[in-house]
Structure 1
Amino acid sequence: MKKILTVSASNSKNSINRTLLELASSKVEGHEVAMLDIRDYPMPFFSLDREENEGHPETAKQVRALFAEYDAFIISSPEHNGAMPAEFKNLIDWVSRLGDLQNPMFATKKPVLLLSTSPGPNGGATNLQTLSHLMPWWGADIKGTYSLGSFYDYFVDGKLNAEKDQDLTNVVTDFVNVI
């Protein structure tokens, strides 16, 4: 049994990306699943001066320790102006400073599934493409991506319609099968 950490990369209390992540998590069978919500780990904005003068925030150390405990990750990130949210990027900036090239943020090639959704038709696909290119530098082994555009057209009465639910099930099952 593997330990999978799901990461909600949104700082919105009503995040549809967190909802998508919870739906994806419910589809994982036979493995331990826990969630990290970046809202629970506030950090000042990263700067070299702040790092030199104040050191690393305790929350960054806590996140780094959590990352080390898990075998795989499912990350759901909204798209802000074509990129990841500033708060998620800030978390990455701090946590990555606690490692080195031999010990990157996600350790050595830990499998990652990237998810994104949005009210618009793009579904965060631009951000997923960017994250797919960046995350291997941080030690992630991207095993898949899933973008759900027009979230509110498919999520009604607390669930996805049958087609999109099956799409998400397939993506999560494929991910679980390769970890």
Structure 2
Amino acid sequence: MDQLPNRILVFAGSARSGSFNKRLARLAAGRVEAAGGQATFIDLRDYPIPLYDGDLEREQGIPAPARHLKDVLAEHSGLIVVSPEYNGFITPLLKNTLDWLSRPDGDQDGLALFRNRVGCVLSASPGGLGGMRSLALARQLLTNLGVTVLPDQLAVPGAAKAFTDDGELADSGARERLDQICHRLVETLDRLNPPAGR
């Protein structure tokens, strides 16, 4: 891997303020820190990117929020994507964000930003499957872009009742699984790109 600092970018494919997936993303960022990693949680609401349009790109270039988000991703060697499920698919927000991030920029091809990144996918849903169908699609999309997606994943069903009042996962098994996933991601990045002094 490139000698990037082993920082992990964490975000959910939802802009909704009360998003269950944002809650799960924040928990994942905390677990990364507890495992000895460096996590950056971002809210895609802070990066308002228009729907991808080739004419818009040709006439105006990559929108400033997308360019800023490219810069943020470039500073991270790991990625945790928490994907809501809309009608069995990933959200338009997540797809659109990744579409813009994968566009060529100057002399850099669009996929360069994703190569040598290691990631994992999580999901929470009010339904009984916990967003499992969206996880498969998020995994496929990230893999297509060049991210090495770890096999570990977590789907949290019944999300309306899955979190305690203080934002933690109510189920001990889900908490343990999240711990394991985040620890493995940090461990994998450290093995691929040992931090200085280790």
Q: What's the TM-score, normalizing by structure 1?
A: 0.91
> CA offsets per residue over residues 5-61 of structure 1, 9 Å max, x none?
112221101110010111111112222111121110001111111112222101111
CA distance in structure 2 between the aligned counterparts of 1:113 and 1:54, rounded to whole angstroms = 33
Match of 2:15 in 1: 11
Shift of 1:104: 1.0
Shift of 1:116: 0.5
Query: Relative to structure 2, which stretch is displaced further, 6-15 or 93-102?
Result: 93-102
CA distance in structure 2 between the aligned counterparts of 1:50 and 1:25, rounded to whole angstroms = 34
Match of 2:124 in 1: 117
Amino acid at match of 2:158: S
CA distance in structure 1 between the aligned counterparts of 2:89 and 2:113, rounded to whole angstroms = 20
In structure 2, list runs of 5 or more residues that go unmatched. Answer: 190-198
Shift of 1:153: 3.4
Q: Residues 103 and 48 of structure 1: is their aligned pair in 2 closer, same or farther, counting only changes over 3 Å?
A: closer
Match of 2:42 in 1: 36
CA distance in structure 2 between the aligned counterparts of 1:170 and 1:31, rounded to whole angstroms = 13
Q: Residues 46 and 30 of structure 1: is their aligned pair in 2 closer, same or farther, counting only changes over 3 Å?
A: same
Q: What's the TM-score, normalizing by structure 2?
A: 0.83
Identify which of 152, 156, 164 aligns with 1:148: 156
Paired residues of 1:154 and 1:164 also in contact (CA < 8 A): no
Matched residue SS, 1:116: strand
Matched residue SS, 1:171: helix
Match of 2:79 in 1: 73
Match of 1:104 in 2: 111
Amino acid at match of 2:159: F
Amino acid at match of 2:144: W
Paired residues of 2:36 and 2:186 also in contact (CA < 8 A): no
Shift of 1:163: 2.5
Paired residues of 1:113 and 1:175 also in contact (CA < 8 A): yes
In structure 1, list runs of 5 or more residues that go unmatched. Answer: none
Query: Relative to structure 2, which stretch is displaced further, 90-99 or 35-44?
Result: 90-99
CA distance in structure 1 between the aligned counterparts of 2:112 and 2:131, rounded to whole angstroms = 23
Identify which of 38, 48, 51 aligns with 1:45: 51
Paired residues of 1:8 and 1:35 also in contact (CA < 8 A): no
CA distance in structure 2 between the aligned counterparts of 1:17 and 1:178, rounded to whole angstroms = 24
Match of 2:196 in 1: none
Q: Residues 101 and 142 of structure 1: is their aligned pair in 2 closer, same or farther, counting only changes over 3 Å?
A: farther
Identity %: 28
CA distance in structure 2 between the aligned counterparts of 1:55 and 1:10, rounded to whole angstroms = 25
CA distance in structure 2 between the aligned counterparts of 1:51 and 1:59, rounded to whole angstroms = 13
Query: Relative to structure 2, which stretch is displaced further, 109-118 or 22-31?
Result: 22-31
Q: Residues 4 and 92 of structure 1: is their aligned pair in 2 closer, same or farther, counting only changes over 3 Å?
A: same
